A and B are shown apart, each in its own frame.
Chain A
Amino acid sequence: MTTAASVGDLVSQPYKYGFVTDIETEKIAKGLSEDVVRLISSKKDEPAFLLDFRLRAYRQWLQMETPDWAALGYPTIDFQNIIYYAAPKQRDKKASLDEVDPKLLETFDKLGIPLSEQKRLTNVAVDAVFDSVSIATTYKEKLAEHGVIFCSISEAVKEHPELIERYLGTVVPSNDNYYSALNSAVFSDGSFVFIPKGVECPMELSTYFRINSGDTGQFERTLIVAEEGASVSYLEGCTAPMFDTNQLHAAVVELVVLDDASIKYSTVQNWYAGDEHGVGGIYNFVTKRGHCRGDRSKISWTQVETGSAITWKYPSCVLQGADSVGEFYSVALTNNYQQADTGSKMVHVGPRTRSTIVSKGISAGHSANSYRGLVQIGPKAVGARNYSQCDSMLIGDQAAANTYPYIRSQQPLASVEHEASTCRMSEDQLFYLQSRGIAFEEAVSMMVSGFCRDVFNQLPMEFAAEADKLLALKLEGSVG
C-alpha cells in the first residue's frame, strides 16, 4: 500500500497566511444600529449624500431576510455579535509610505505584497486594505499622469465626491439583496478606479484585502468605472488569519463600462477556510456585478475561489449596450468541510449581446460545491448568444458537486448553449502518472491544472502560476 502510505505521509500544508498582526486597533462596540451607521459615517467624515445612502440601506436591510435558496448549511449569523468598524491606530491616511506603521508594511511583506518603493511589484499598482481601512496605494502619481484614479473608496469620497455620487449603487442597488443592503449600510473601505475616456490603464491594478481582527466583519466596497474606449485589468486577493470562530465578509463590487470600454476583473480568493474538521473560516457573501452600459463594451470576470468556509458569490453582467460582451471564468475548489455556491448571471438586454460562462468546480474531502447560474435573454436582445460550460471534478468519495443552471429567454432569435460534465479523479489515473516516475503531489497538480486550464489561461500571467500552486497546496493530502 505504498500510495496510501505516501498520502498519509503528506502533512496537510498549514494555511500560510494564518498569522495575526499584533497591532493596536481602534474598534467600535459590537452590534448594529442606526447609531452605528452614523458613527461609521462620521468617523470617515462623509458628505451628507453618503450618510443618506447608508441610512436608506440600513432601513431596507431591517425589512429583509437572509437568503436561504443556496445549497449551503451554516448556523444563523448573529449580526449583533459583530464589530462593524476596526482600524489599525494611526493618524489619518499617510502622505507617504514612510509614515505607515512598519508593522503593517511587514504584514503585507509577509503576504508577498511588498509595498515599499524598493521592493514593490513593477507594473502592478496595489491598494492594501487592512481590516476596515486602506493603508496604502502604490503608483498613484504615475497613474495620475494618465488621468487614472486609483485610491481607496474613502479617499475617493473626499476627493471625487461627484463621481461617487454619480455611480455608487447604480449597478447593485442597496436593496438588491440582504448582504448588499448590509454592505451599503456599513461598508468601510475598498478600492475606487476611474479610467477616463480613451485611456488604456498603463499597469495592472490590484487590491489586497486582509482581515486581521477575530471578531470584525469586513465589508468592502469596490467601484470601477471605465469611460468610453477605456480599458483596465484589475486583480483582487484576500487572506485572513486562522481563528476558530467564523468571520463575516460581505463585499459589494460594481463595475461600469461605457461605449467600447472593457474591464477585466480577476480574483484570487484565499480567505481562511477553517480547519480539517470545519471549525472556523470566513463566511463569504459577496455581490459582484458589472454593467455594460455602452455599446460594444466588455466585462470579463475571472475567479479562483479556494478559501472561505462558506462562499456565496455570483459575479454577473448586465449586457445593456448593443454588441456588449460578458464573460465569467471560474475555478472553485472546496476541501474538508468547505461549502461553495457560486456561479454567474448573464442578463442580456441589448441586441447581439454575447456571453460566455466557463465554470470548473473541484470538490475534495467532505466538501460541497455547487454551480448556480442564470442566463436571461430579454425581449429586445435580438441575436443574443450564450455559451455555458460547467465541469465538476470529484476527488475521493465523500465530496459533492451540483449544477443548477437557470435559463430564461423571452427572445426567439437568441441562442443559448449549456454543457455540463462531472468526472472523478481516479486512483487509476494517479497510479498511471506515478508509475511513470511522477510524484503523487505532482500527479494531482498536473490533473487539476489540466482540468482548470481554460480558466487559468484567462488570468493575468503573473498570477496564473500562483493559482496553479495554490490549488496544488490546497489539495495536499486530500487524495488517496
Chain B
Amino acid sequence: MLPTLAAAVSISDSFVFSPVIRPDADILLEITGLHARVEDNAILKGVDLTLRAGEIHAVMGRNGSGKSTLSKVLAGHPAYTVTAGTVTYRGQNLLELSPEERARLGVFLGFQYPVEIPGVSNLEFLRVATNARRVQLGQEELDTFAFEDLVRERIKVVQMDPAFLDRSVNEGFSGGEKKRNEILQMALLEPLVAILDETDSGLDIDALRIVAAGVSQLATADTATLLITHYQRLLEAITPDFVHVMAAGRILRMGGRELALELEERGYDWVDQELAALELG
C-alpha cells in the first residue's frame, strides 16, 4: 500500500474534478440521501447521485457495498424498503411508482442474474414489454408481424442468434446469452435511464465487446446510463464520464475515468482505510 500516494491522488482529484460536463443538460435522475434496507439490514446509508442526459456513470465497489441494492431500489424490487431520501425521475417521485410504471416511463434495469421463466416465450415476452412502453409513449401497439420486423432489426445490436427468440425467457441460455437478451430488451424499450447491474459478469472477451458496443450504441445525448461494475474491464469498452466509488452503502468518492484506473491499480483496500477514517471522524 502506498498511503502517501493515495492521499495525494485523493486530494488532488476531489479538488480538480468538476462534477458537471454539460450544466445545461436535463437532469433525468436525482438521488438524494437515499437510505434503504432489506428485512432488518440497512444497506443504503445516504446515497446522492445525479444523472443528466448524455452522461455515462459508473458505480464501482466491492461485493456487499450496496451497488446492486441501489439498482434494485431504483427499479422498485419489493424486497427493499426505502427508509429515507428521495429519488426524482424527470421531476416525478420515482419511489411511489410500481416497477411496471417505472419501466414504462423509461427506467430500465439490466439484471446481474436474469431469471429463467419456463413456458413463457421470449418473443411474446419482448412484444408485451415493448408494447407496454409504446402505449405509455402514445405509440401504436405492434402486432406480431410488425414486432418481428422490429426485433430482427434490434437484435443486430447484440448479434444474438434469432433462435433465442423462440425459446422460453432465458431458459437454458448461457451467461453471455442472458446478458445479450438483457441488452436486446434495452434496445427495444429505448429507456431514458438505463441501470446495468454487473452486465460484464460472466462474459467472455468477445461477448463483452459485443455487449459493450451495444450499450455504447444505445447511449445517446438524450439518455443517461448507470453502469454498476466491480471491475475496470467494462469501462475499457465503455468510457464513463463519471466514476463513483461505493462503500458501506454510500458513495465515498466521485471522479472521472481515472478513478476507475486507480481502483484497478491499487485495489479497494484504500477505500477501506478512507472509510475507517471517515467513521472515526
Q: Residues of A at under 8 Å CB distance from B?
A: 1-6, 423, 426-429, 431-440, 442, 446-447, 449-451, 453, 480
CB-based contact A437/B125 at 8 Å: no
CB-based contact B118/A431 at 8 Å: no
A161 to chain B, nearest CB (A): 49
CB-based contact B76/A438 at 8 Å: no
Closest Cβ neighbor of A4 among chain B residues: B78
Which of B104, B118, B121 interacts with A423 by CB under 8 Å? B118
| Selected interface stretch from B59-67, B126-134, B158-166, B261-269 | B126-134
Q: Residues of B at under 8 Å CB distance from A?
A: 75-79, 81, 96-100, 102-104, 109, 111, 114-115, 117-121, 124-125, 128-129, 132-133, 136, 168-169, 185, 189
Q: In the complex, which residues of chain A have a beta carbon less than 8 angstroms from the beta carbon of B97?
A: 2
CB-based contact A450/B128 at 8 Å: no
Q: In the complex, which residues of chain B have a beta carbon less than 8 angstroms from the beta carbon of A442?
A: 128
> Main SS of the interface on chain A?
helix
Which of A1, A432, A437, A449 interacts with B104 by CB under 8 Å? A437
Q: In the complex, which residues of chain B have a beta carbon less than 8 angstroms from the beta carbon of A446?
A: 120, 124-125, 128
Cα–Cα, bound, A12→B154 (Å): 39
CB-based contact A429/B115 at 8 Å: yes
Given known A-B contacts A1-B78, A2-B78, A432-B114, A438 and B128 have beta carbons under 8 A apart = yes
Which of B98, B100, B111, B119 interacts with A450 by CB under 8 Å? B119
A396 to chain B, nearest CB (A): 14
Closest Cβ neighbor of B188 among chain A residues: A436
Q: In the complex, which residues of chain B have a beta carbon less than 8 angstroms from the beta carbon of A434?
A: 76, 98-100, 103
Cα–Cα, bound, A1→B76 (Å): 7
Closest Cβ neighbor of B97 among chain A residues: A2
Task: Give the top 3 A-B pairs by smallest Cβ distance, nearest first.
Answer: A450-B119, A437-B132, A3-B78
Closest Cβ neighbor of A451 among chain B residues: B119
Residue with the highest number of chain A CB atoms closer than 10 Å, among B121, B124, B128:
B128
Given contacts A436-B103, A446-B124, A446-B125, 15 further A-B contacts (CB under 8 A): A6-B98, A432-B111, A432-B114, A432-B117, A432-B169, A434-B100, A436-B129, A436-B189, A437-B100, A437-B103, A438-B128, A447-B120, A450-B121, A450-B168, A480-B78
Cα–Cα, bound, A440→B254 (Å): 37
Cα–Cα, bound, A436→B104 (Å): 7
Cα–Cα, bound, A434→B129 (Å): 9
Q: In the complex, which residues of chain B have a beta carbon less than 8 angstroms from the beta carbon of A440?
A: 98, 100
Given known A-B contacts A2-B99, A437-B100, A450-B119, A431 and B78 have beta carbons under 8 A apart = yes
Q: In the complex, which residues of chain B have a beta carbon less than 8 angstroms from the beta carbon of A453?
A: 119
Cα–Cα, bound, A433→B170 (Å): 12
Q: In the complex, which residues of chain B have a beta carbon less than 8 angstroms from the beta carbon of A432?
A: 111, 114-115, 117, 169
Cα–Cα, bound, A446→B129 (Å): 12
Which of A1, A2, A451 interacts with B118 by CB under 8 Å? A451
B277 to chain A, nearest CB (A): 36
Cα–Cα, bound, A450→B78 (Å): 24
CB-based contact B129/A447 at 8 Å: no
Residue with the highest number of chain B CB atoms closer than 10 Å, among A437, A439, A450, A451:
A437
Closest Cβ neighbor of B131 among chain A residues: A437
Which of B77, B114, B117, B133 interacts with A437 by CB under 8 Å? B133
A477 to chain B, nearest CB (A): 15
Cα–Cα, bound, A437→B130 (Å): 8
Cα–Cα, bound, A213→B109 (Å): 54
CB-based contact B132/A2 at 8 Å: no
